[in-house]
Amino acid sequence: MGNKNENATDGRQMLYSDTLLDHFRNPRNYGSLPSPDVAYEEFNPLCGDRIRIELKISDNRIAAARFVGDGCAISIAAASLLTELVLGVEIASGALISDEELIASLKSDIKPSRMKCALLPLEALRSCVKVYRRPKTGA
Ligand code: FES
């Protein structure tokens, strides 16, 4: 996880809020669920980084969310925040959380060139929900 060295020495840290840095350094809900109901891994083709989201679903709501992956500070912090934001959210609503909400939660100046980093975990989450809601066949 997080093998990118994004610290103060190159000046970029000024763009990152305390919230972002805290979630990058101390990611919440990092690790795998013992028996997830659904999991999906997305990767960023621009850099090859990967974020896998795992969910436990109960009564059509997200009862637990965890993530594993290898990414930059923005993608790890976004994954960490996302796993907190979606707890209890009804998956049938289709809304889950918007791009704007997740970006806002990072409280940082995310440049257009880094949007893919910030939204990578959300793409994985949306794919999880799609897979989970897909009609089961062959039963
Ligand atoms: Fe790869 Fe951000 S640089 S996800």
Query: Looking at residue 44, which CATH number applies to its domain?
Result: 3.90.1010.10
HEC sequence for 42-66 = EECCCCCCEEEEEEEEECCEEEEEE
Residue 4's pLDDT band (cuts 50, 70, 90): low
DSSP states of 55-95 as a string? EEEETTEEEEEEEEEE--HHHHHHHHHHHHHTTT-BGGGS-
Does residue 54 line the site of ligand 1, with CB under 6 A?
no
Task: Give the residue whose CA is nearest to atom 2 of ligand 1.
Answer: 117
Strands 50-58 and 38-43: antiparallel
Q: Is 1 domain-assigned?
A: no
Give backbone dihedrals phi and psi of 36, rounded to 5 degrees, phi first.
-65, 150
Rounded to the nearest angstrom, the distance between the alpha carbon of 83 and the centre of ligand 1 is 18
Predicted TM-score (pTM) of the model is: 0.89
125 ligand 1 Cβ < 6 A? no
**Residues spanned by the domain of 34:** 8-133
State mean pLDDT over 41-53.
96
* Confidence label for 51 from pLDDT (cuts 50, 70 and 90): very high
For residue 48, the ligand 1 atom closest to its alpha carbon is 1
Going by C-alpha positions, the residue among 111, 26, 113 that lies closest to residue 76 is 26
Q: Assign 79 a pLDDT band (cuts: 50, 70, 90).
A: very high
Count of domains observed in the chain: 1
Q: Would 139 be classed as within a structural domain?
A: no
State whether the beta carbon of 127 lies less than 6 angstroms from ligand 1. no
Average pLDDT over every residue of 58-77:
96
pLDDT score for 39: 98
138 within domain boundaries: no
Q: What is the dihedral of CA 86, 100, 50, 29, to 10 degrees?
A: -30
| Rounded Cα distance, 39 and 11, in Å | 36
89 part of a folded domain: yes
Q: What is the DSSP letter of 136?
A: P
